[in-house]
Amino acid sequence: MKSTEDTASLLYHRAYKPISLGCSNCPEKGLCGGLQTSGGQFDCLAFCECKDPSTCQYVCPNKLDYMARVLDVFGFGFENIPRVPKLTYPVLPRSVPLLYHAYRRKTPLKADSIAVPLAYLINRKTGMLRFTSRAAIARHFGFVERARLVITGVAMDQPIEDYWSFRRATRIPEQLAAIGPDLVTGPNYSTPLDTPRWENLYNMKRIPICWSELITAGLPTSLHLNACSDRDWERWTEFVVKRREVVSVAYEFATGPARLERGDWHTQKLVELAKAVPRRLQLIVRGGLVHLEKLNDAFDEVVFIDSTPFMKSVNRQKCLKPFGGKMDWLASGTPKNQPIDSLLEHNVAAHAKAISQAVEKQLTF
């Protein structure tokens, strides 16, 4: 019996594989490109295995609400995404620490820029923001108010589904604009490998819809990219090339692309996209530190958002030897209830320096 890892690799898009026979007459073949995997599926409906379609959450023609889901995003094509103004985007440092809370800290973290999760800002019962000012966010997460604020939309499925449900009813983009963050990255609606492709097309369309709504509200927003096939990447590249208002894109390596083979493939696709775009392009990255050097060579600006310094500090670990070799983390025992302020300050600075040197090809992780 194959392992879960081996099974997943069978579903990877392989350009050298023929398109599955069942894809020939699919009306969405032009947008999808067809299934090209080693798994031997006749078409992507092989992944429709639910016994009760009424309880299935995926977008699939076998469900009664299929047309409602298509109309929800005004079709799967990108051509009807509204044009939006070209905004001014901040120049950010290579490394931006991601904070989740301020527990066990007494003084605000002094940093040039700070990232916080969008999911932590929204009351998922009411759809209203939990904070009404940057100062309130700074106090809650424990950083100096003068720091540039990045709100990252990367989250688990349910929080970003809640965002989709509430975003218009409670005018979440306008609520965020009132706070005035320096940059937002849009929700990362996923493109899983083991679902009917209509689910991917639906989620891919939701990404630029949310992006356009946030920009219309006046928020500099990074367009999150999710894809699982050559055709998906072609469509993103076509969209970014045509839309001069896209000056920042985002990608997340921490889940599906976390495997090196898959991460390498996505990295190459990002590099190809950057080469095709005839203007400066910023990339916001979550995870994928091993790919940072190649990405930095391709994009005009790469910003690495990482929770590692925060999580290591919370777990009382200190960054050692961050320059000239692999980063080491050593247990740093502290008395019970002692604040971790100085430990976090050290870890943020050391981690940022290590990332900078990694980009400059001086450090191997």
The strand ranges marked E within 86-147 are 95-97, 113-117
* Residues 6 or more apart in contact with residue 83 via CB below 8 angstroms: 243, 245
Sign of the C-alpha dihedral computed for residues 314, 255, 302 and 161 taken in this order: negative
DSSP 133-198: SHHHHHHHHTB-TTSEEEEE----HHHHHHHHHHTTTTTHHHHHHHH--SEEE-------TTS-HH
**Chain mean pLDDT for the chain:** 92
CA angle 174, 176, 182 (to 5 degrees): 125
Is a pLDDT exceeding 50 seen at residue 364? no
CA distances from 301 to 170, 181, 292, 295, 336 (A): 34, 19, 11, 9, 41
Q: What does pTM read for this prediction?
A: 0.93
The answer to whether the CB of 191 falls within 8 A of the CB of 228 is yes
Return the residue matching tokens 């191997």: 364
If one compares 268 and 55, the residue with the highest pLDDT of the two is 268
If one compares 53 and 87, the residue with the highest pLDDT of the two is 87
Least confident range of 147-161, 196-210, 333-347: 333-347
Neighbours of 74 (CB within 10 A): 11
Report strand pairing: 317-320 vs 328-331.
Answer: antiparallel
* Residues 6 or more apart in contact with residue 365 via CB below 8 angstroms: 289, 290, 326, 327, 358
pLDDT tier, 200 (very low <50, low <70, confident <90, very high otherwise): very high
Which phi and psi angles does 6 have, rounded to 5°? Answer: -65, -40
Question: Of 121, 89, 87, which is closest to residue 217 (Cα–Cα)?
Answer: 87
* Residues 6 or more apart in contact with residue 92 via CB below 8 angstroms: 113, 148, 150, 182, 183, 282, 301, 303
Please determine, looking at this structure, whether the domain spanning 95-306 carries the CATH number 3.60.21: no
Is a pLDDT exceeding 50 seen at residue 84? yes
